[in-house]
């Protein structure tokens, strides 16, 4: 009930009624002033009534015309005050014209019409200014029970946020920092700009800061890292204003503030794409994505849908994943023909039916077993899925003369130490060598880990943090490349537009990340102190795991592609008859689950593959 009453009291209708009430009040005041603060003579009282009855509707219309009720009083700005002046001016001019025509200004003192706009302007503006002043300074009157907050950035966004933070009980802004020297030492809404970002650590300790809020929507990952590293050894939370911050009623919505994520720290500058080239080979085409319900596959489907294909075929063996991505895309792209197909890439009849029925133009092959330790325990299944499945799909793409076939590979295919890496390397080799015999363009894209993908280290750490730890890292020196899922998929689509067949496109992964550092960062981002609140333990390298991942083999001469984020690795060609003979041996051994023969043949096909001899 109290909430209902409050919503009525602070609604735009309440503000409208308030403003209308000022009209008769200022008319009476104008007459009172005109007659030297004494009684209004009887002969003028009828004109008072006439003027009020005319002014109220005239002025009310003017208020609505100039939008006095679009904003909220607590965010009253100069723009709102200008609207008031315009509305009063228009109302006064109309009032003068109406009274002249209707009443011939009979017994309406001219001074009243001069005083009226002045008094009304003051009457409308003063409550707005007082209300905003009170709401912005009321935090000084309450007990300081909010989290002591330091805002990074004293620019426009910082000013907007600081103005809103004072209304929120969970925040108590006490300081600002900004690298702009001209802002240092000044105050924004009564809060001082104490210094620059390099002073963060000292200020957090000196002012007992509990939350550091980054109010710079354009902050890139290097700036976020710099800020987080400044306070990494202190018990303080870091939060950020999202880059896609939305305005609500001419102000920022504080509810959009969020915790800093690992993506903020490891993310990179936006990828520049040639959308016309990507659209050229996807628009009005039938596109098939295998593993379309997985982390990479589902994002591929989302981005492909935005390129206006004629049809999207989502092929996946997981019923729930397929249902989920079909539902999401069907809601978002209701006009697009989306065909969800349950199936296994190893089943040639099922895959052949898809190609024959839908006349597939482009294939993105993302379906694969990718968990390294799991395939070390199940090498035969890894071979059947990653090698046989790719062969089935690639041969049918060739048979039905698809325009292009894009294989999603991995950095683990380079100098592989695992069954998973070796199987993906063989998939690369098969597609590269098939390209020379086919009208279909076979293109391979190779990259490292993606943040948040199923089975990756980031979701594992998140779960372990929720459970109170410990975080398990296999080795203190282990490093991995990381890339966000949207970025990796964008580059896959770009590579698909650039390939002429037989290439391996290597995605620029930036600098490798020390996993122990990543674990510590994620613990701090969750509001805990590494080793004090949550432990990190080192469990030793798992079967097939490498300390350092590589993106290309020594014999693969890298070339520029003209795109800053894509490189080209040289192809390795085999005798086609020999390759197929060895593949037949490999697949036969996998079907028989002869693990020793499987690994032996993997080594023949991929000489650089290193494994413990059985």
- Residue span of the structural domain in which 529 resides: 275-605
Q: Please, what is the Cα angle at 262 between 258 and 266, to 5 degrees?
A: 125
Please classify residue 363 by burial: count the beta carbons closer than 10 Å to its beta carbon, then call 0-12 exposed, 13-18 middle and 19+ buried.
Answer: buried
Give the residues of the chain that fall short of pLDDT 50. Answer: 1-10, 139-143, 247-250, 613-614
List the one residue out of 395, 392, 453, 388 whose CA is nearest residue 423. Answer: 388
Confirm if 184 and 209 have CB atoms less than 8 A apart: no
Helices 515-525 and 457-466 cross at an angle (nearest 10°) of 40
Residues 416 and 449 in one domain: yes
The tokens of 144 are what?
Answer: 């300081």
pLDDT tens for each residue of 149-175: 898 988 777 777 777 676 666 788 888
79 and 39 both lie in a single domain: yes
Give the three-class secondary structure for 548: coil
Q: What is the pLDDT of residue 530?
A: 87
Per-position DSSP letters for 361-409, written without gaps between them: -EEEE------HHHHHH-HHHHHIIIIIHHHHHHHHHHHTT-SEEEEEE
Are 287 and 239 within one domain?
no
What is the tally of structural domains in the chain? Answer: 3
Residue 405 domain-assigned (yes or no)? yes
How far apart, in whole angstroms, are the C-alpha atoms of residue 97 and residue 228? 64
Q: Which residue has the tokens 């037949």?
A: 584
Statement to judge: residues 56 and 182 lie in one domain = no
Q: Is 268 contained in some domain?
A: no
Quick check: is 611 in a domain? Answer: no
User: Is the residue at 437 inside a domain?
Assistant: yes
Q: Active-site residues: which are they?
A: 412
Residues 514 and 379 in one domain: yes
For position 555, what pLDDT does the model report? 55
Whether 46 and 185 share a structural domain: no
For strands 311-316 and 286-290, give the pairing: parallel
| 172, β-bridge pairs | 148
Residue 267 in any domain: the answer is no
Neighbours of 443 (CB within 10 A): 25
pLDDT of residue 22: 86
Is 80 a domain residue? yes
Tell whether 46 and 163 lie within a shared domain.
Answer: no
Report how far residue 265's alpha carbon sits from residue 221's, in angstroms, rounded to the nearest whole number.
5
- 438 and 555 inside one domain: yes
Last residue of a domain, one of 208, 233, 260: 260
Give domain status of residue 270, yes or no: no
Q: Say if residue 233 is in the same domain as residue 320.
A: no
Specify the residue for token string 């990190």: 536
What pLDDT score was predicted for residue 481?
73
Please provide the size of the chain in residues: 614
Single pTM value for the model = 0.68
Quick one: pLDDT at residue 113?
80
The helix/strand count (H/E) of the chain reads as 22, 24
Pair 212, 248 in one domain = yes
pLDDT in tens, 280-304: 999 999 999 999 999 999 999 999 9
- The residue from 123, 138, 153 where one domain ends is 138
What DSSP line would sit under 131-171, residue for residue?
HHHHHHHGGGTS---SEEEEEE--SHHHHHHHHHHTT-TTE
**CATH code of 564's domain:** 3.40.50.720
> Domain check: are 131 and 167 in the same one?
no
**Last-in-domain residue among 138, 164, 181:** 138
If asked whether residues 70 and 124 sit together in one domain, one would say yes
Nearest to 70 by CA among 250, 254, 253, 252: 250
Yes or no: say if 567 and 561 are a contact pair by the CB < 8 Å rule. yes
Q: Is residue 614 part of a domain?
A: no
């Amino acid at each position: 009930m109290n909430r209902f009453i409050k919503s009525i009291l602070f609604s735009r209708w309440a503000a409208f009624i308030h403003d209308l009430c000022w009209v008769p009040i200022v008319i009476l005041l104008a007459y009172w002033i005109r007659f030297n603060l004494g009684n209004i003579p009887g002969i003028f009282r009828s004109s008072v009534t006439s003027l009020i009855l005319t002014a109220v509707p005239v002025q009310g219309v003017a208020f609505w015309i100039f939008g006095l009720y679009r904003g909220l009083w607590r965010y009253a700005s100069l723009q709102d005050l200008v609207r008031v002046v315009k509305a009063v001016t228009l109302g006064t001019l109309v009032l003068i014209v109406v009274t002249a025509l209707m009443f011939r200004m009979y017994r309406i003192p001219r001074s009243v019409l001069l005083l009226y706009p002045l008094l009304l302007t003051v009457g409308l503006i003063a409550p707005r200014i007082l209300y905003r002043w009170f709401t912005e300074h009321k935090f000084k009157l309450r007990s300081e029970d909010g989290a002591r907050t330091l805002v990074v950035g004293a620019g426009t966004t910082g000013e907007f946020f600081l103005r809103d933070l004072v209304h929120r009980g969970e925040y108590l802004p006490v300081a600002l920092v900004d690298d702009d020297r001209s802002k240092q030492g000044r105050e924004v809404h009564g809060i001082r700009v104490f210094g620059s970002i390099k002073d963060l650590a000292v200020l957090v300790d000196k002012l007992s800061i509990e939350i550091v809020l980054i109010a710079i929507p354009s902050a890139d990952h290097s700036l976020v890292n710099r800020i987080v590293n400044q306070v990494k050894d202190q018990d303080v939370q870091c939060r950020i204003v999202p880059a896609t911050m939305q305005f609500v009623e001419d102000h920022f919505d504080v509810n959009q503030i969020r915790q800093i994520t690992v993506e903020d720290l490891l993310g990179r500058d936006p990828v520049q794409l040639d959308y016309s080239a990507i659209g050229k080979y996807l628009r009005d085409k039938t596109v098939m994505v295998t593993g379309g319900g997985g982390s990479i596959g589902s994002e591929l489907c989302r981005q492909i849908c935005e390129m206006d294909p004629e049809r999207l075929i989502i092929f996946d063996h997981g019923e729930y994943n397929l249902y989920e991505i079909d539902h999401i895309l069907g809601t978002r792209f209701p006009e697009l023909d989306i065909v969800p197909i349950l199936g296994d890439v190893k089943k040639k009849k099922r895959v052949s039916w898809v190609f024959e029925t839908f006349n597939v133009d482009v294939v993105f092959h993302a379906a694969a077993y990718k968990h390294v330790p799991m395939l070390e325990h199940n090498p035969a299944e890894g071979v059947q899925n990653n090698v046989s499945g790719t062969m089935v799909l690639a041969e049918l793409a060739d048979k039905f003369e698809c325009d292009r076939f894009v294989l999603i590979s991995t950095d683990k295919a380079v100098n592989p130490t695992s069954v998973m890496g070796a199987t993906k390397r063989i998939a690369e080799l098969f597609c590269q060598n098939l390209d020379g015999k086919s009208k279909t363009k076979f293109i391979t894209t190779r990259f490292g880990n993606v943040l948040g993908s199923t089975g990756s280290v980031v979701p594992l750490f998140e779960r372990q943090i929720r459970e109170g730890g410990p975080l398990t890292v296999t080795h203190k020196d282990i490093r991995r490349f990381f890339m966000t899922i949207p970025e990796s998929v964008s580059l896959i689509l770009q590579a698909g537009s650039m390939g002429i067949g037989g290439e391996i496109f290597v995605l620029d992964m930036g600098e490798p990340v020390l996993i122990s550092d990543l674990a510590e960062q994620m613990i701090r981002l969750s509001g805990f102190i590494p080793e004090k609140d949550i432990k990190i333990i080192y469990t030793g390298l798992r079967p097939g795991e490498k300390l350092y991942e590589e993106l290309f083999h020594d014999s693969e001469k890298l070339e520029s592609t003209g795109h800053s984020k894509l490189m080209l690795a040289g192809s390795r060609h085999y005798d086609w008859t020999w390759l197929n003979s060895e593949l037949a041996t490999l697949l036969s051994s996998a079907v028989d689950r002869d693990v020793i023969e499987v690994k032996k043949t993997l080594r023949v096909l991929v000489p650089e593959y290193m494994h413990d001899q059985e």
